[in-house]
Amino acid sequence: MAAPASGQGKTTITAALAHLLHSRGKRVQVFKCGPDFLDPTWLALASGQPVDNLDLAMCGRVDVERRLALATEHNDVVLIEGVMGLFDGARSAADIAALWNLPILLVIDSSSMAETFGAVAFGLANYRPGLRIAGVLANRVASERHSELLRKSMPVDVPWLGQVMRQQKEQAPIPSRHLGLVAADEMGDGLARIAQVAESLAQSDLGRLEWSQWQQRWSAELSAPSELAPTRLLEGRRIAIARDAAFRFIYPANIAFLREQGATLQFFSPLAGDALPECDALWLPGGYPELHAETLVACQPLAEAIRQHWQADKPIWAECGGMLALMQELHWPSKALRTPLLGVIPGVVTQHDRLRGLGMQAWQSPWGMLRGHGFHYSTCDTSLPVVGHTQRLLDEDRVDAATQLESVYAQGSLRMSYFHAWFASNSVAAARLFLN
């Protein structure tokens, strides 16, 4: 599922298609290209299954291939939502499609466009020879007359798969804010929003295809998944994980990794007033602490429990928003806001209205290179020692050694950074975050 650019409606259409197929009794597995915590919440809601990320640098080719192969073994349909435009980035959605000869369904926003639609479709289909183009779906179509103009503009060698009609602006299926889409579980009517688009999609040429036509046109062959050497690096470890609206940026694959390594996971909600569970290690993931600062500052019993955990030399991995929540104060100049945070560590968070960190990166940890990404609007000022920096990730085996991106801080058993780690990229390094 690809498009000429971001904002074309890929997530909405992918979710709607997953919902439509799921409602027809098909088992659907959805993946998201690139590092993303928010789009997958909608794709998971639509498909009824957790959504993993695929990125040739962050995950690595072997990891991507294994996840795809496992998905094809256990599902009727596998959908992959691309990232940005089809050819954007050093490791684009087109690269993933080409490696495994996957059919590409092009989603094009037809707003403010008529016959030029065909030129855009032609360019996408012919820019890189050898890609397997399944067809084109027009999104945000204004009327049946508009749809007819679009259809007539199509090049003869690119299949027309129909249209999805434009929703009213106030009924936008998936709203956005800073850092991306509003997560599906924050919308009480999230599934109804997806179903509304799926209803329109069901009337398209794509939606009316019989299952036998899907199998005939778009089947793909992937090798059997490779067997991983079993490791149980976290056997018997109890890991407490904060998980709620303030700590929500968690890859399902990272949760699966911890369990595969033998850890027992105990989730708790700081916003709900939960106490810190009895645990050997603590993970504070990223999220939106800046939107919940007033609630967090009231969690002083939890703050004290985290201090005691730290003083007892038990590991803490605080990632992006999890790191920010531990600091003393949030300053948000554009909102004229100053408010305390948990206050476990010295430091001030400043929230900005523009991105301050974005990109694929890797941390050369004491136990090997751990790959991941960064994405944040804030900056932080803390006196904790800096023990390293992440570097720009060029591909799964190479970094730009001249770059220094995110600081990695450490003091005692606490490690923290803006860096979001993909645990499976280095099992030993990831496990060591939770070991003494």
Q: 247 and 417 in contact (C-beta within 8 Å)?
A: no
Banded model confidence at residue 170, pLDDT cuts 50, 70, 90? very low
Residue 100 lies inside a defined structural domain of this protein? yes
Could you tell me if 213 and 248 lie in one domain? no
d(CA 269, CA 275): 8
Does 248 reside within a domain? yes
Q: Assess whether 83 and 197 both reside in one domain.
A: yes
Q: Which of 65, 102, 63 is nearest to 82 (CA)?
A: 102
Same-domain status, 206 and 265 = no
Whether residue 225 is predicted with pLDDT greater than 80 in this model: the reply is no
Residue 316 domain flag: yes
- Quick one: 384 and 353 in the same domain? yes
Cβ-count burial of 296 within 10 angstroms (0-12 exposed, 13-18 middle, 19+ buried)?
Answer: buried
Instruction: Examine the domain organization and report whether 200 and 256 are in the same domain.
Output: no
Element (H, E) at 345: none
Residue after which a domain boundary falls, among 151, 185, 218: 218
pTM: 0.93
Residue whose C-alpha is closest to residue 416's, from 382, 392, 371: 382
Whether 191 and 70 share a structural domain? yes
Do residues 36 and 6 lie in contact, with contact meaning Cβ atoms separated by under 8 Å? no
**In this structure, are 52 and 187 located in the same domain?**
yes
Q: Is residue 284 part of a domain?
A: yes
Residue 336 has pLDDT above 60, yes or no: yes
Is residue 279 among the annotated active site residues? no
The predicted-structure confidence for 108-154, as pLDDT tens digits, reads as follows: 999 999 999 999 999 999 999 999 999 999 999 999 999 999 999 99
The CATH number that applies at residue 382 is 3.40.50.880
Query: Does residue 52 sit in the same domain as residue 184?
Result: yes
Pair 419, 392: CB distance under 8 Å? no
In a domain, 281, yes or no: yes
Q: pLDDT grade, residue 188 (50/70/90)?
A: confident
- Where is the domain boundary, 218, 249, 265? 218
In our burial notation (b when 16+ CB lie closer than 10 A, e otherwise), range 200-221 reads bbbebebbeeeeeebeeebeee
Q: Does residue 245 share a domain with residue 188?
A: no
**Cα maximum dimension of the chain:** 70
Q: Which one of 33, 279, 299, 320 is the catalytic residue? A: 320
140 is in which domain, residue-wise? 10-218
| Dist. CA 412–CA 313, nearest whole Å | 7
Q: Coil, strand or helix: which one is 362?
A: strand
**Residue 169 scores a pLDDT above 70:** no
Residue closest to 349 by CA, chosen among 271, 274, 246: 246
Same domain, 242 and 206: no
The pLDDT assigned to 180 comes to 61
Integer Cα distance of 202 and 79 in angstroms: 17
Condensed to tens digits (0 to 9), the pLDDT of residues 70-98 reads 999 999 999 999 999 999 988 899 999 99
Residue 227 falls inside a structural domain = no
pLDDT tens profile 274-320: 999 999 999 999 999 999 999 999 999 999 999 999 999 999 999 99
Q: Is the residue at 134 inside a domain?
A: yes
Give yes or no: residues 209 and 112 share one domain: yes
Domain boundary among 170, 185, 218: 218
Residues 318 and 373 in one domain: yes
Identify whether 2 is part of a domain.
no
Given a cut of 50, whether residue 381 has pLDDT beyond it is yes
- Report the percent of the chain where pLDDT is more than 90: 87
- State phi, psi for 174 to the nearest 5 degrees: -135, 110
Rounded mean pLDDT of the chain? Answer: 94
How many domains does one find in the chain? Answer: 2
